[in-house]
Amino acid sequence: MSTRAKVAAAGVVAAIVLFLTIGFWPGLLVLIGVPAAAYLLLDPSQRRRLRGVSRKQIGR
């Protein structure tokens, strides 16, 4: 199983757990808000490096 597949599976499990425990909208807010906040906390140089890595993987 690739790393991306593991991350996707973990995201699905987290979504199901959040939706069952705290409800749909708060769970959706957490699932979208946490990665967005983590991205915004990166320095501009780290964001640039992250975008560059993503583009290199797409161009394979």
Tell me the per-residue pLDDT of 9-51, one tens digit each, with 9 for 90 and over: 888 898 889 889 999 888 888 888 888 998 999 999 999 888 8
The packing angle between helices 3-22 and 24-40, to 10°, is 130
Q: What is the pTM of this model?
A: 0.62
Q: How many CA atoms lie within 13 A of 58 on its CB side?
A: 6
42 or 8: which leads in pLDDT: 42
Q: What is the CA radius of gyration of the chain?
A: 14
Quick one: which of 3, 33, 8, 1 has its CA closest to 16?
8
| Stretch 2-7: mean pLDDT | 83
Residue boundaries of the structural domains of the chain: 3-58
